[in-house]
Structure 1
Amino acid sequence: MTITATALPKSGEEDGIVKYAGIGPLELEAGGFLPDVVLAYETWGQLNSDASNAVLVQHALTGSTHVARGATDEEGWWEQLVGPGATIDTNKFFVISINIVGGCYGSTGPSSAAPDGKPWGSRFPLVTLRDSTVAESRLADALGIDSWHAVLGGSMGGARALEWAVTFPERVERCAVISVGAYSTAEQIAFAQAQTLAIRQDPNFNHGDYYGGTAPEHGLALARRIAHITYRSALELDFRFGRQAQHQETPLAAAVLGERGRYQVESYLDHQGTKLVRRFDANSYIAITEALMSHDVTRGRGTLEAALSRTKAEFFVAAVDSDRLYFPAQSRELAAALPGDVSVHLIEAPIGHDGFLTEIGQLSAQLREAFFG
Structure 2
Amino acid sequence: MTDARFGPDRRITLAGPLRLDGGALLSPVDIAYETYGALNAARDNAVLVTHALTGDQHVASAHPRTGKPGWWARMVGPGRPIDTDRLFVVCANVLGSCMGSSGPATLNPATGAPWAMAFPVITIRDMVRAQAMLLDHLGIERLRSVVGGSMGGMQALSWAATFPDRVESAIVIASTARHSAQNIAFHEVGRQAIMADPKWRGGDYYAHGDPPAAGLAVARMAAHITYLSEAGLTEKFGRRLQARPDRPDGAKSFGFDADFQVESYLRHQGLAFTDRFDANAYLYITRALDYFDLAEEHGGTLANAFRGSATRFCVVSFDTDWLYPTGESRAIVHAVNAGGGAVGFVELSSPFGHDAFLLDSPELSRIVAGFLDAGR
Provide the TM-score with structure 2 as the length reference.
0.91
User: Secondary structure in 2 aligned to 1:152?
Assistant: strand
- Give the alignment of 1:298-309 within 5 angstroms: 298-302=295-299, 303-309=301-307
Amino acid at match of 2:357: F
- Give the alignment of 1:237-252 within 5 angstroms: 237-248=233-244, 252=252
What per-residue deviation string (whole Å, max 9, x for no partner) do you get for residues 218-245 of structure 1? 0000000000100000111111111111
Q: Indicate yes or no: 2:347 matched with 1:346.
A: yes
Distance of 1:366 and 1:63 partners within structure 2: 22
User: Secondary structure in 2 aligned to 1:91?
Assistant: coil
Post-superposition shift, 1:311?
2.9
Select which of 216, 226, 248 maps to 1:230: 226
Q: Indicate yes or no: 2:357 matched with 1:356.
A: yes
Amino acid at match of 2:351: P
Post-superposition shift, 1:140?
0.6
Structure 2: stretches of 5+ with no match in the other structure? none
Distance of 1:84 and 1:169 partners within structure 2: 28
Select which of 329, 333, 336 maps to 2:334: 336
Structure 1 200/246 Cα, relative in aligned 2: closer, same or farther at 3 Å?
same
Structure 1: stretches of 5+ with no match in the other structure? 1-5
Equivalent residues of 1:319, 1:345 under 8 A apart:
yes
Distance of 1:369 and 1:285 partners within structure 2: 34
- Give the alignment of 1:36-115 within 5 angstroms: 36-69=28-61, 75-115=69-109
Distance of 2:62 and 2:36 partners within structure 1: 7
User: Structure 1 residues 261-270 or 293-302, which shifts more?
Assistant: 293-302
Q: Indicate yes or no: 2:152 matched with 1:157.
A: yes
Amino acid at match of 2:344: S
Post-superposition shift, 1:32?
2.5
Amino acid at match of 2:24: G
Distance of 1:63 and 1:71 partners within structure 2: 10
Provide the TM-score with structure 1 as the length reference.
0.92
Structure 1 340/123 Cα, relative in aligned 2: closer, same or farther at 3 Å?
closer
Amino acid at match of 2:368: L
Amino acid at match of 1:147: R
- Give the alignment of 1:1-373 within 5 angstroms: 7-9=4-6, 14=7, 17-24=8-15, 25-69=17-61, 75-115=69-109, 116-213=111-208, 214-248=210-244, 252-254=252-254, 257-258=255-256, 260-302=257-299, 303-338=301-336, 339-340=340-341, 342-372=343-373
Amino acid at match of 1:95: V
Post-superposition shift, 1:122?
1.6
Equivalent residues of 2:221, 2:266 under 8 A apart:
yes
Specify the alignment match of 1:3 in structure 2: none
Distance of 2:62 and 2:354 partners within structure 1: 27
User: Secondary structure in 1 aligned to 2:91?
Assistant: strand
Structure 1 158/71 Cα, relative in aligned 2: closer, same or farther at 3 Å?
closer
Amino acid at match of 2:313: F
Post-superposition shift, 1:261?
4.7
Percent identical among aligned pairs is 43
Structure 1 261/18 Cα, relative in aligned 2: closer, same or farther at 3 Å?
closer
Structure 1 177/253 Cα, relative in aligned 2: closer, same or farther at 3 Å?
same
Distance of 2:194 and 2:258 partners within structure 1: 25
User: Structure 1 residues 81-90 or 303-312, which shifts more?
Assistant: 303-312
Amino acid at match of 1:194: V
Distance of 2:173 and 2:131 partners within structure 1: 20
Post-superposition shift, 1:68?
1.1
What per-residue deviation string (whole Å, max 9, x for no partner) do you get for residues 224-281 of structure 1? 0000100000111111111111111788443xx55x5521100000000011001100
Equivalent residues of 1:251, 1:261 under 8 A apart:
no
Equivalent residues of 1:230, 1:325 under 8 A apart:
yes
Q: How many residue pairs align between the two structures?
A: 359
Equivalent residues of 2:50, 2:156 under 8 A apart:
yes
Distance of 1:49 and 1:215 partners within structure 2: 47
User: Secondary structure in 2 aligned to 1:175?
Assistant: strand
RMSD: 2.0
Amino acid at match of 2:12: A
What per-residue deviation string (whole Å, max 9, x for no partner) do you get for residues 174-197 of structure 1? 000100111111111111111111
